[in-house]
Structure 1
Amino acid sequence: MKISIITVSFNSATTIRQTIESVLAQDYPELEYIVVDGASKDGTVEILKEFADSIKFISEPDKGIYDAMNKGLKMVTGDAIGTIGGDDFYPNNQVISQVAKAFVEYQTDAVYGDIQFINPDDIHTIVRYWKAGEYSRKNWLQGWMPPHLSFYLKKAAFEKYGEYLTDFTCSGDYELMLRMLYKNNLSAHYLPLTLTTMRNGGTSTASLKHRYRANMEDRRAWKINNLKPNWYTLWMKPLSKITQLFKKGA
């Protein structure tokens, strides 16, 4: 099966080379890589051009990250689709082959795994580990979600149930996965492996504002899908991140 990977980038010149090289180093032969850049002005486009023989890319203004993601979806030709950020990278070169093997072996609609967060100033220091755990539909009611950047979904699911909603600013990934897995009861298989390495962001007033906005959008995600969470569901979601500080990688 063919796997398509999408990166959305904007002014990512300091990190995107590592991202691209980690994708192209994957040992899985049926791999397509697409970068959707938001008209960067910092040298990102020049880096993308260096890899023009190995990747597909566009660079143009967009209406936000989920608009850019949808542009990428329109370009894919693979059977399943995953994403990786412009400042993230794969921890090894077997990630995509493991994902593809799981799709075939378990005949599932989605595959997801774990994510490790590293100190952006020292990529060898892991500061947080998101161990996603085995899939159970009822876990959504406990505030659970799979890590979006370790989440791979069949292209057919996008075609049947829709793309990212562009009127979300930060929880469009949560809404999409909730819609696919919880509302439409698609199947998902958990790979107990680190599938993505992410540079960690700092805790600040801005991030607290972001968390508040995300919580409001999380609530809207349930509402527009005509779903009813438990009274504590959307409080548990951010609280679950605290436990990630004490978990070890696989």
Structure 2
Amino acid sequence: MSDRTPQVSVVIPAYNCAAYICQAVDSVLHQTYKDWEIIVVDDGSRDDTRLILQQYGDRIRYIHQQNQGVSIARNRGIELARGEFIAFLDADDYFFPNKIAAQIAVFAAQPNLGIVHSGWRQVNSTGEPIKDVKPWQKVPKLNLEMWLRWKPVLPSAMVFRRHWLERAGGFDPRFPPAEDTDLVLRLALMGCEADWLQQVTVCYRQHEQSAMYKGLPQAKSLAAVTDNFFARPELPDQIRLLEKQIKYSTFVWIAWYLHRTGHAVEMVEFLQRSWNYTPYLPVETVINWADCFAEFSHEAGDELDADLLAQSPEWQQLMQWTMLIS
């Protein structure tokens, strides 16, 4: 290991990802930008992760800890990092070759930035493309209001100035797997500026173990992060005024996500929660729910079967509930 201080620290938290970890590490080794260090924090893997990583020798810094979750693993990486910038890479994702160079160029052009975000390519478990996600098309500005409204957070697509992560105290382990959204909201509230690199820089792997397939924990965590954020006493008035709008749209999105991941009973609970914040009349609210479900499904590359949804016992029960309380 060289004594020189690298410009960028790439932090890779790993937990039972032996099947993918080499592709992640290799994608950093093959970067066109060369001034980096790789820190792999093995969060108590029970597979061959340690053995597989031995082949890299001193090209990586390998740290093993007891299993404590991805927040603690990433925070350990932040503590050990020597670079001015930190790029996170989940062990089942992998960078395109010019990712770091392109994002560091944005920092060089805009020294005020604390975060440079980018687009990503969703791939399946074997790395075959599903679709490219370019969030700047819908969210052109990354200010606190836009982070709150759209939550376009993916750590593997982002690079952070290390001092901002240290000021924020890193990831909060109370909110898995939405701890990344919590961190970005706290950073934005602290005044951390962010901008887009309008480029797809990373492959984000979708498989049964990945966070997006953990329907119920993801939903409950995102709701907890939203509630926790609006409970902060230091919120500016213009953000406080958005609370009802943000909670309504967030809870409707969570309900759709639960519908998509097969949690119909919990879907009903979140639509009922959204009712407390609706800007619409009762009938308009139900129409809006259906419209939002159709829109979210389309954005995810599916089409909503509205008839099937309307005929489900949970939706029928929900319609009875809306009539009772209207």
Superposition TM-score, scaled by structure 2 size:
0.68
**Which protein has the bigger helix share?**
2
In the alignment, is residue 232 of structure 1 matched against residue 248 of structure 2?
Answer: yes
Among 201, 204, 228, the alignment partner of 1:195 is: 201
Q: Is the 8 A contact 2:121 2:132 kept in 1?
A: yes
Could you list the runs of 5+ residues in structure 1 that have no partner in the other structure? Answer: none
SS at match of 1:153: strand
Among 22, 38, 45, the alignment partner of 1:33 is: 38
In the alignment, is residue 19 of structure 1 matched against residue 24 of structure 2?
Answer: yes
Q: Is the 8 A contact 1:141 1:233 kept in 2?
A: no
Q: Is the 8 A contact 1:7 1:83 kept in 2?
A: yes
Counterpart AA for 2:134: K
Counting only pairs closer than 5 Å after superposition, residues 88-237 of structure 1 correspond to structure 2 as 88-90=93-95, 92-107=96-111, 108-121=113-126, 123-126=127-130, 128-133=131-136, 134-137=140-143, 138-181=145-188, 183-202=189-208, 207-223=214-230, 225-226=232-233, 227=235, 228=240, 229=243, 230=245, 231-235=247-251
Question: Aligned partners of 2:14 and 2:60: how far apart in 1?
Answer: 14
Q: 1:146 to 1:243 in 2, by over 3 A?
A: farther
Q: Is the 8 A contact 1:5 1:81 kept in 2?
A: yes
Report the equivalent of 1:86.
Answer: 91
Q: 1:224 to 1:37 in 2, by over 3 A?
A: farther
Question: Aligned partners of 2:14 and 2:296: how far apart in 1?
Answer: 25
Question: Aligned partners of 2:158 and 2:64: how far apart in 1?
Answer: 24
Q: Is the 8 A contact 1:33 1:56 kept in 2?
A: yes
Question: Aligned partners of 1:174 and 1:130: how far apart in 2?
Answer: 17
Percent identical residues: 21
Counterpart AA for 1:216: A
Q: Is the 8 A contact 1:83 1:151 kept in 2?
A: yes
CA RMSD of aligned residues (A): 2.4
Superposition TM-score, scaled by structure 1 size:
0.87
Cα displacement string for residues 187-222 of structure 1 (whole angstroms, at most 9, x for unaligned residues): 11201111210111359xx73312322233222441
**Which protein has the bigger strand share?**
1
- 1:97 offset after TM fit, Å? 0.5
In the alignment, is residue 245 of structure 1 matched against residue 300 of structure 2?
Answer: yes
Question: Aligned partners of 2:223 and 2:169: how far apart in 1?
Answer: 22
Higher relative contact order at CA 8 Å, sep ≥6: structure 1 or structure 2? 1
Question: Aligned partners of 1:19 and 1:48: how far apart in 2?
Answer: 11
